[in-house]
Amino acid sequence: NAGVTQTPKFQVLKTGQSMTLQCAQDMNHEYMSWYRQDPGMGLRLIHYSVGAGITDQGEVPNGYNVSRSTTEDFPLRLLSAAPSQTSVYFCASSYSRAQPQHFGDGTRLSIL
């Protein structure tokens, strides 16, 4: 099992560009989520999904879109990148929010 796979690992964007961060899991987990990590801010929840076809907003959803067309994949889209979105992004999955979360290795995103 690969677990939770995030791509790319690193990305540099220019302000205004769009891109999609990929997240895939092979553990048949229903619950998936996206967090961003900034120094001194901990892990902040962007969006989450309790199953295919269902998504909801977390603490800091503005500027990000998600979709969940399959159980395995949960991509995060930046519509128009801004320097404030420079961060490390982690995807996580589990059977539910009450179960241990399995994290991917993260995507380090820089926006110039």
Total site size for other proteins, rule CB under 8 A: 26
Q: Which is nearer to other proteins, 16 or 51 (CB)?
A: 51
Among 35, 78, 109, 111, binds other proteins (CB under 8 A): 35
Mapping DSSP onto H, E and C, the string for 17-42 reads CCEEEEEEECCCCCEEEEEEEECCCE
Q: Is 83 helix (H, G, I), strand (E, B) or coil?
A: helix
In the set 17, 22, 27, 45, which binds other proteins (CB under 8 A)?
A: 45
- Residue 25 CA to residue 85 CA, distance in Å, equals 24
Query: Which range in 12-20, 39-47, 61-69, 72-80 contacts other proteins by CB under 8 A?
Result: 39-47
User: 67 Cβ partners below 8 Å, 6+ apart?
Assistant: 55, 74, 75, 77
Binding other proteins (rule: CB under 8 A), the pick from 7, 70, 83, 97 is: 97
- Reported residue count of the chain is 112
Q: What is the maximal distance between C-alpha atoms in the chain?
A: 38
Contact call for residue 106 and other proteins (CB under 8 A) = yes
Asked if 62 touches other proteins (CB under 8 A), the answer is no
Task: Write out the residues near other proteins by the rule CB under 8 A.
Answer: 31, 33, 35, 40-45, 48, 50, 56, 58-59, 90, 92, 96-98, 100-106
